[in-house]
Amino acid sequence: MEEQVRVLIIGSGPAGYTAAIYASRANLKPVLYEGIEPGGQLTTPTDVENFPGHPDSVSGPDLMGLMRRQAERFGADMLTGNVTRADLSSRPFHVVIDGEKEIKAETLIIATGATAKYLGLPSETKFRGQGVSACATCDGFFYRKKDVAVVGGGNVAMDAARTAVRMGAASVTIVYRRTEADMPAIQAEYQAALQEGVKFLWKTSTTEFLGDEDGKVVGLRANTPEGVKEYAFDRICLAVGSRPASRIVSTTKGIETDDNGYVLVKERPFGMTSRKGVFAGGDVVHRPQTVVMAMKAAKSVAVGIAQYVDAVKLLSE
């Protein structure tokens, strides 16, 4: 069975839902497939403290549910399914959902987001959302007057540690598995973290997160040159990088990405990739940032695709 759509949006989360809202308001009749993780990364945090209009915070799943409902209210067709194959070599673009349903799309918005890298420890999953997270900006409110550990040694880790300091943490310690000389963070970021009071544990490789009887994290266990040690922390932020969830991109020729796999887009029309008619927005384009920034980019992409559709229509008349 083949379906023809005007605007196909791949991926949910803040970027996908925002694109659906604005594309609907432009009367583009978008169809959105939510992918394997409806709501995206924002369904992981327990609470979102920094989203405007929610002074008492809002849970990530609730916020995504509200965005989804808003997109539906404006007429977006919200469907469950995952892209398993795509041919973007020519318009209309040919996309297959779940290996069965075939879609021909005049235009496409890729909003598949990015995923934080984790250490792969069983205890990591157990305490995720219970003191262990991968977003210092999202969980910054909970760092106040707490002893915070940041696991990692790159620029992302330095930024997360400084964010925790600014949010009023009692102490912030970066836990890094190698030596100071091996640390990938640039010197400027490292020096800034030192000046702001961040402490460092070198040659400390995290092997397990520790919790109490209530299921809350209370610290970590690590291998050190002196043997196995345990360290007490109230909150732990994993800052070991991220990867774009761009499977549809990596399997499709003609869409340019940077060395890390993030999609490259143009300024005019905003969000268009190297393939005409294919747009991208949100964390799949930029390394994970705030929800509002992802929404802003997706809104601009929806405006850009409306301008593109109008231009194509004029050329065909």
Of the residues 47, 139, 159, 234, which is catalytic?
Answer: 139
Q: Is 139 a residue of the active site?
A: yes
239-to-157, 197, 233 alpha-carbon distances in Å:
5, 18, 16
DSSP 241-256: -EEE--HHHHTSTT--
Q: Is 98 a residue of the active site?
A: no
Helices of type H across the chain: 13-25, 60-73, 122-126, 136-139, 155-166, 187-195, 247-250, 291-316
Give the residue from 201, 159, 2 showing the smallest Cα distance to 95.
Answer: 2
Of the residues 135, 147, 159, 237, which is catalytic?
Answer: 135
DSSP designation for 106: E
The count of C-alpha atoms lying within 13 angstroms of the C-alpha of 208, restricted to the half-sphere facing its C-beta, is 6
Q: Is 135 a residue of the active site?
A: yes
Give the residue from 159, 166, 168 showing the smallest Cα distance to 193.
Answer: 159
**Catalytically annotated residues:** 135, 138-139
